[in-house]
C-alpha cells in the first residue's frame, strides 16, 4: 500500500466494508419499484412487489427438479423477472430469512414433522408474514 493513502483500522474499516451491501439492496429495490406503474401509490407498488417476490421465493425454495432449477437460473441471468431477481438476490438475504423462519417454527413445534396439508398452511403463514415485512421494507427503500 502506498504511503500517501490512509490505512483504515478497527471499526472504520468494518463500516467501510459493510456499507456497499445495503446500498446494493436499496438500488435493487428502487429499480424494481421504478419499473412498476406510476399510477399506483408507493404503498400499493410495495405490496404488489412484496407479493410477487414472496411467491417467487417460495417457488424457488421448493424447486427440486434440475430442469426447473436450470430454467430459473436462466431467467435470473436474463433479468426477465424482477421479482425472481429480488427473491434470490444475495444482497437482500431473503432465502436465509425464509430458512430462519422455517427453522424457528420447526424448533417451536419440538422438531415434529408436518403433514402435507399442515406444511402448506405453514408456508402460507410464513408467506404472509414475509410479505408484510417486505412491503414495509420496499416502501421505505
* pLDDT at site 45: 93
* pLDDT at site 5: 58
Average pLDDT in the 31-47 region? 90
Q: Which of 115, 123, 36, 49 is nearest to 83 (CA)?
A: 49
Measure the CA–CA gap between 61 and 130, rounded to whole angstroms: 14
Measure the CA–CA gap between 58 and 63, rounded to whole angstroms: 9
Average pLDDT in the 56-78 region? 89
In this prediction, residue 35 has a pLDDT band, given cuts at 50, 70 and 90, of confident
* pLDDT at site 38: 86
* pLDDT at site 13: 52
Is the pLDDT at 11 greater than 60, yes or no? no
Amino acid at each position: 500500500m502506498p504511503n500517501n493513502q490512509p490505512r483504515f483500522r478497527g471499526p472504520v474499516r468494518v463500516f467501510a466494508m459493510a456499507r456497499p451491501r445495503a446500498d446494493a439492496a436499496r438500488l435493487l429495490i428502487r429499480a424494481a419499484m421504478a419499473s412498476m406503474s406510476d399510477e399506483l401509490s408507493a404503498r400499493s407498488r410495495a405490496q404488489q412487489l412484496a407479493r410477487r417476490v414472496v411467491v417467487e421465493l417460495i417457488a424457488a425454495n421448493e424447486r427440486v427438479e434440475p430442469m426447473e432449477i436450470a430454467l430459473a437460473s436462466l431467467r435470473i441471468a436474463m433479468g426477465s423477472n424482477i421479482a425472481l431477481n429480488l427473491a434470490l438476490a444475495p444482497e437482500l438475504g431473503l432465502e436465509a430469512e425464509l430458512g430462519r423462519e422455517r427453522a424457528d417454527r420447526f424448533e417451536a413445534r419440538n422438531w415434529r414433522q408436518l403433514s402435507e396439508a399442515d406444511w402448506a398452511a405453514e408456508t402460507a403463514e410464513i408467506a404472509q408474514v414475509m410479505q408484510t415485512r417486505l412491503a414495509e421494507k420496499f416502501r421505505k427503500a
